[in-house]
Amino acid sequence: MPDTSPLRVIISGGGTGGHIFPAVAIANELRRRLPDSEILFVGANGRMEMTRVPEAGYKIVGLDISGLQRRLTPQNLLFPVRVLRAVRKAGKLLEQFRPDAVVGVGGYASAPVLLAATSRAIPALIQEQNSYAGLVNKLLGRRVGRICVAYEGMEKFFPQEKIVVTGNPVRTEIANGDRAEALRFFGLDPNKKTLLVIGGSLGARTLNLATVAALARLREAGVQLLWQTGKLYFPEAQKQAEPYKQDNLQALEFIQRMDLAYAAADVVVSRAGALSVSELCLTGKACILVPSPNVAEDHQTKNALALVSKGAAVLITDEHAPARLYDEALRLLADPDRQSQLSTRVRELARPEATATIVDELMRLIKN
């Protein structure tokens, strides 16, 4: 008789929104296709996935795992012990949950789960968001059955026969925000231009400092602001924005309803993380990208140039952002024709089918 038991999948990884939100998108697509599927997330204790995943409606279990420090510390000496303990705990989770497959999205927590799964011959898939592969994914690429990537040329990191170019999974609702609802939700004036500033889920110091310095200019120009600061920077940003509250210049620690934030925005200023770039393409927003210089192999600049080379975005370096960012933002806000041109071109680069393709690959892996 055919097996009619629900599909069971573990999704592991996290650390930043760039790992977490693609993982949630994959889970949502699994649930859409198979409503009775059972999905368990595994994250790292103390990291943001331990709150963001339950907010998305999924159960998560935490492992005591973290990365290596860049200098010699007692924590580094204990690193092998922590990894062994995490792998043992991951193994017990696998034995209890009995998944049909495991998906790793990068980040500390995916390593123990993928190690435990592949040692038990459980089908495993990696989803790599960036043009420069993360350490965990590079180390485990040879052990898994399939590697879904967002960029061409990833055979320098992974076995070519395992690679499928899918694009990055983006929550489908991100592009479905209603502008009228968005303006009501954030209390914005429909007759004013709105600028959205997002420095990634953890915030971006350069963008935050440049925004603080530009608050008076934005008020003078009659521009509204939705400014995601990140948790670390929020108290100071909130204090600086308080005098401009009546002008709709809003400092927000984290924006839960990004669908509405994108819908409200005329122009977006953003870092160039892989997920942010994918979301901007899907939403078709005129954008200014300020790549973070503090990432491996400067991969955010590569992400940004993929858009800039097609006339689909404006690039300002982190070094030049303090002096030039808000000059460029105000020029773009005042130029609807240029906004429209950027919007059209960036939308052409979207991969709306990415999440479905990844789940197709996962189902094929399970079947085989």
173-203 pLDDT tens trace: 899 999 999 999 999 999 999 999 998 767 7
**Cβ neighbours of 205 (radius 10 Å):** 14
Is 18 marked as a binding-site residue?
yes
- Residue-level pLDDT at 172: 77
Q: Cβ distance 340 to 331 under 8 Å?
A: no
Give the pLDDT confidence score for residue 16 in this predicted structure. Answer: 83
- Any known ligand binding at 17? yes
- Give me the residues paired with residue 126 across strands: 104, 147
Structural contact between residues 109 and 20, judged by C-beta atoms closer than 8 angstroms:
no
According to the model, what pLDDT value does residue 193 have? 98
With beta carbons less than 8 A apart as the criterion, state whether 92 and 112 touch: no
In the predicted model, residues of the chain with pLDDT beneath 50 are 1, 69-70, 76
pLDDT of residue 297: 79
Where are the domain boundaries for CATH 3.40.50.2000 in the chain?
8-168+352-367, 173-347
Global confidence as pTM: 0.84
Please state which CATH class domain 173-347 belongs to: alpha beta
Q: How many CB atoms lie within 10 A of CB 143?
A: 13
The reply to whether 338 sits in an annotated binding site is no
On whether 177 is known to bind a ligand per the annotation, the reply is no
Q: Is 39 annotated as a binding residue?
A: no
Asked if 309 and 284 touch (Cβ cutoff 8 Å), the reply is: no
* 275 annotated to a ligand binding site: yes
Is domain 8-168+352-367 annotated with CATH 3.40.50.2000? yes
**Tokens 């200023």 sit at which residue?**
269
Consult the annotation and say whether 300 binds a ligand. yes
**Residue 120 is labelled as binding a ligand:** no
Beta bridge partners of 315: 289
Query: According to the annotation, is 131 in a ligand binding site?
Result: no
Answer yes or no: is 176 a known binding residue: no
- Let me know: does 112 contact 83? Beta carbons within 8 Å: yes
**Token output for 83:** 């990894």
255 annotated as belonging to a binding site for a ligand: yes
Residue 179 CA to residue 357 CA, distance in Å, equals: 29
pLDDT at res. 341: 98
E strand or H helix at 282 = helix 274-283
pLDDT of residue 1: 41
